[in-house]
Structure 1
Amino acid sequence: MSTVRREPAGQAAAGADAPVLSCAGVRKRFGSTEVLAGFDLDVAEHEVVVLIGASGSGKSTLLRCVNLLEDVDDGTIHLDGEHITDPRINPDRVRQRIGLVFQSYNLFPHLSVLDNVTLAPRRVHRVVRAQAEERAMAWLSRVGLADKAREYPDRLSGGQQQRVAIVRALVNSPRLLLLDEVTSALDPELVGEVLTMVRDLKSDGMTMLLATHEMGFAKQVADRVCFLSEGRILEQGTPAEVLGDPQQPRTRQFLQRIIESGRL
């Protein structure tokens, strides 16, 4: 399968600093189904890469492999040059440098917003409560949710819950932020809340890898869009290139269906 490779905005040039994330020849099977089929991707410092493609193309599986929630069957993944798929690596130590947010908020319903955000820093990273809460309140204030710190998740809108989930991933100052379909469970009018937050993170220089079905979302935040098909990148480039002038018939077919559904 050929891959159209344009000059990706923000990608590290030869001889420049090593990429924050590097995936080389990554393969992942579930039974007889190969979901990632020799997947290659580099994500440069401060770059926002958006993964698009049909369900089953490997987007979510890749994010889970990067966060070491799934073992790879072959290939390597490096984070800041460290081989994190080495079987001898401590996955919990690696996850301290990676934030992952799922499409379902996964907030603990019996804990307040503040306790949800500070749970990992206090329990896993042994940060004292006062320091953890100070850091959490700074983030909650920034995203307009300081007044919700003592509320429980079921008192929040979907957009507010997703923003809390993103804050929970950010509170440990991750090196890389992974976002898996973070707007797909939201009503259309709430998508903007999360989009604004992600755009602000982009302005801060956060390195991000996102999977999404929202092409408008991809247009607004991506430095580079990668279209996945059968576990590989079939086409990649700037949003204008991939979404506005796709070169591969499979990409054009996918985007036509998105247009017909009103999502582009």
Structure 2
Amino acid sequence: MTPVLEVAGLVKTYGERVVLRGIDLTVAEHEVVTLIGASGSGKSTLLRCVDLLEDIDDGRILLDGTDVSDPRADDAAARRRMGVVFQSYNLFPHMTALQNVALAPRVVHGVPADDADGRARALLDRVGLDGFAGAYPERLSGGQQQRVAIARALAVQPRLLLLDEITSALDPELVGEVLEIVRELARDGVTILMATHEMGFARQVADRVCFLDEGVVLESGPPEQVLGDPVEERTRRFLARIIAAGRLG
């Protein structure tokens, strides 16, 4: 079966600095793959490359077998098939939660306004915000804003959901409510590629964990292997620091 996402030999540089050094990665249908690693290891850059927000220097990015990184490919069409949630919520402050979620289906995908609003209400309900459709972002907590951002990403019915450290900007007491939404999405079979520093969550939810180090996938496998019995010494040192910080879970 063709993977939903296939990254082959991906290289990304900024000037003389090489950030990604030949990344190979696949994500199968209904699979949850988590990216872990220290700050600067390339996790966010990889996600931005997959979403075609960054030009790549070498390699290929295939979505359902189609090379969307080909310069002749329609970037906008490919991005319409992916949903992405970043560390910051990036909600439009002058729009309600409902309007934020309904915007892309209506404007980008041409969904009639009533249908887009109906889909948005259903998604807000799905993320536990059915009573907040008319609320503006300033009236929502950080966790609520991030849940609106997740609903907005789902509104385009993405083939692949990309999540970039979505709890890193949240107060600790709000982290759990956002991660629970991702757990539910995983149980529902949504295909997810997610960068996270929440190791306990990765252990519980991921089908596969990829440890990035200095722009390469140094180790990849089931959570119990990578997080519980890593092969690489560099992975063991990284996890030892996480344990010392009390974040392994």
TM-score (norm 1): 0.92
1:95 partner amino acid: R
Q: CA deviation at 1:52?
A: 0.3
Tell me the SS of whatever aligns to 1:118.
helix
CA distance in 2, matches of 1:193, 1:160: 9
Q: 1:70 aligns with which of 54, 57, 81?
A: 54
- Structure 1 residue 236: Cα displacement: 1.0
5 Å matches for 1:59-98? 59-98=43-82
- Equivalence for 1:101: 85
Deviation digits for residues 144-192 of structure 1, max 9, x if unmatched?
A: 2111000001111111110100000001110000000001111111111
Runs of 4+ in 1 over 6 A off after TM superposition: none
Residues in 2 aligned to 1:157 and 1:240: alpha-carbon distance in whole angstroms: 34
Q: Is 2:188 the partner of 1:204? A: yes
How large is the Cα RMSD of the aligned pairs?
0.8
- Residue in 2 aligned with 1:193? 177
Equivalent residue number for residue 161 of structure 1: 145
Inter-partner Cα distance in structure 2 for 1:150 and 1:120 = 17
Aligned residue identity for 1:208: I
User: Are positions 1:151 and 2:151 aligned together?
Assistant: no
Distance 2:10 2:27 in 1: 15
Which deviations, in whole Å up to 9, do the C-alpha atoms of 1:77-128 show, x marking residues without a partner?
Answer: 1000000000011111001110000010000111110111111111211211
Tell me, in whole angstroms, the C-alpha distance in 2 between the residues paired with 1:64 and 1:157: 26
Q: Which amino acid aligns with 2:164?
A: D
Could you tell me which residue of structure 2 aligns to residue 175 of structure 1?
159
In structure 1, list runs of 5 or more residues that go unmatched: 1-16
Is the CA contact (8 Å cut-off) linking 2:104 and 2:155 kept in structure 1? no
Q: Report how many aligned residue pairs link the two structures.
A: 248
1:244 match: secondary structure: coil
Is contact 2:7-2:61 (8 Å) kept?
A: yes
Alignment-derived partner of residue 38 in structure 1: 22
Provide the C-alpha distance between the structure 1 equivalents of 2:205 and 2:90, rounded to a whole number of angstroms: 24
TM-score, normalised via structure 2 length:
0.98
Q: Secondary structure at the match of 1:198?
A: helix
Match of 1:241 among 203, 225, 240: 225
Q: Deviations over 1:13-43 (max 9, x none)?
A: xxxx011100000000011111110100011
Does the aligned pair in 1 maintain the 2:28–2:191 contact within 8 Å? yes
Identity %: 67
* In 1, Cα distance between equivalents of 2:11 and 2:246: 33
Corresponding residue for residue 250 of structure 1: 234
- Structure 2: gaps (5+ residues): none
Match of 1:125 among 85, 93, 109: 109
Alpha-carbon distance in structure 2 between the residues aligned to 1:203 and 1:42: 20
